């Protein structure tokens, strides 16, 4: 079974976290949500999310994909967390997918994964980054090799459906999308 890790940080964007987790689960993907601390995650607008596990318990596991929800200050917590950074680097070294939406590409820059990549993000989220070779677009979704990025909450559904297509194929994406009655 395909497996995806979704690290959840305090202050994450709930629309992104829930949409990603929900749609991947509908596609039959094993989704492991992992908190950076032992507390329930209080998202950016107050929604309380209880992760399945703590990040330290699965940090050595290799997943088919790691997906980072954005939001602030959640994206900055992902960027600053040593375990998240190690997981991202390990998955990139092992040629696994790494995806980030909204401000979460900040964590990818800290891991050194965006050099010579074309990415998208929430407007202004990467303005502070002065890393050589990062091409930032205003597209709603960007795929560059094994790096997938998206703009923000409004693109979360298309982002999650694209992740399904990459992991499970176009038929599964169409099946999930049809059931959503979009």
Which tokens in the block code for residue 12?
């994450």
Q: How far is CA 166 from the centre of its chain?
A: 14
Determine how β-strand 3-8 pairs with β-strand 30-35.
Answer: parallel
Active site residue 102: yes
Backbone dihedral angles phi then psi of residue 27, each to the nearest 5 degrees? -85, 0
Catalytic residue among 12, 48, 102, 121: 102
Distances (CA, A) of 138 to 67, 97, 120, 124, 165: 20, 21, 6, 10, 22
DSSP 8-state class, residue 38: S
E strands in 9-60: 30-35, 41-42, 48-49, 53-54
Q: Give the integer Cα–Cα distance in Å for 161 and 163.
A: 5
Which residues are identified as catalytic? Answer: 102
């Amino acid at each position: 079974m395909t497996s995806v890790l979704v690290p959840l940080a305090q202050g994450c964007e709930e629309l992104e976290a829930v949409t990603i987790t929900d749609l991947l689960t509908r596609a039959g993907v094993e989704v492991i949500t992992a908190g950076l601390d032992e507390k329930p995650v209080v998202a950016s607008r107050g929604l309380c999310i209880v992760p399945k596990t703590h990040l330290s318990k699965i940090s050595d596991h290799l997943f088919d994909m790691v997906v980072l929800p954005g939001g602030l200050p959640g994206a900055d917590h992902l960027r600053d967390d040593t375990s998240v950074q190690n997981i991202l680097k390990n998955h990139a070294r092992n040629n696994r997918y790494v995806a980030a939406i909204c401000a979460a590409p900040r964590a990818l820059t800290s891991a050194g994964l965006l050099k010579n990549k074309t990415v998208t993000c929430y407007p202004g989220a990467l303005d502070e980054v002065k890393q050589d070779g990062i091409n930032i677009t205003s597209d709603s979704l960007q795929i560059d090799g094994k790096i997938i990025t998206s703009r923000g909450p409004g693109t979360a559904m298309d982002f999650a459906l694209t992740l399904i297509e990459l992991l499970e194929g176009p038929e599964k994406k169409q099946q999930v999308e049809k059931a959503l009655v979009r």
